[in-house]
C-alpha cells in the first residue's frame, strides 16, 4: 500500500499557482520541437485551406467564440483584420 501511495504522490503534478512554470516550459519546448520538425509551412497551408472551406470555417469560428467567452477581455495587442 505504501509503494502505491509513493507512486501516486510522485506522478501527481504539484500546484504551482498562477503562472505554472512547468507547463510553460513544456509548452515552449513542444513549440521548439514543432518548428524544428519542418512542418510549419504544411500546417499553415492546411489552416488556410480549412478557412476557405465554409463549413470548417464556421466550426472554427464557433470554437473561437466559445474560447473568447471564457476570457475576461481580448488582448489589445491582438489585431483582427476581418
pLDDT in tens, the chain (82 residues): 555 555 555 556 677 777 889 999 999 999 999 999 999 999 999 999 999 999 999 999 999 999 888 877 767 777 766 5
User: What residues have CB less than 8 Å from 23, skipping those under 6 apart?
Assistant: 16
Domain count, the chain: 1
Torsion on CA atoms 74, 67, 21, 36, rounded to nearest 10 = -100
Domain enclosing residue 42, as ranges: 22-70
In this prediction the pTM is 0.53
> Is 55 inside any structural domain?
yes
**Domain assignment present for 80:** no
pLDDT at residue 35 in the model? 96
Asked if residue 15 is part of any domain, the answer here is: no
Amino acid at each position: 500500500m505504501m509503494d502505491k501511495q509513493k507512486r501516486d504522490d510522485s506522478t501527481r503534478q504539484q500546484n504551482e499557482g498562477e503562472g505554472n512554470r512547468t507547463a510553460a516550459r513544456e509548452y515552449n519546448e513542444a513549440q521548439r520541437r514543432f518548428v524544428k520538425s519542418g512542418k510549419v509551412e504544411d500546417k499553415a497551408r492546411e489552416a488556410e485551406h480549412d478557412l476557405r472551406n465554409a463549413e470548417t470555417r464556421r466550426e472554427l469560428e464557433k470554437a473561437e467564440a466559445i474560447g473568447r467567452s471564457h476570457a475576461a477581455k481580448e488582448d489589445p495587442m491582438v489585431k483582427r483584420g476581418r
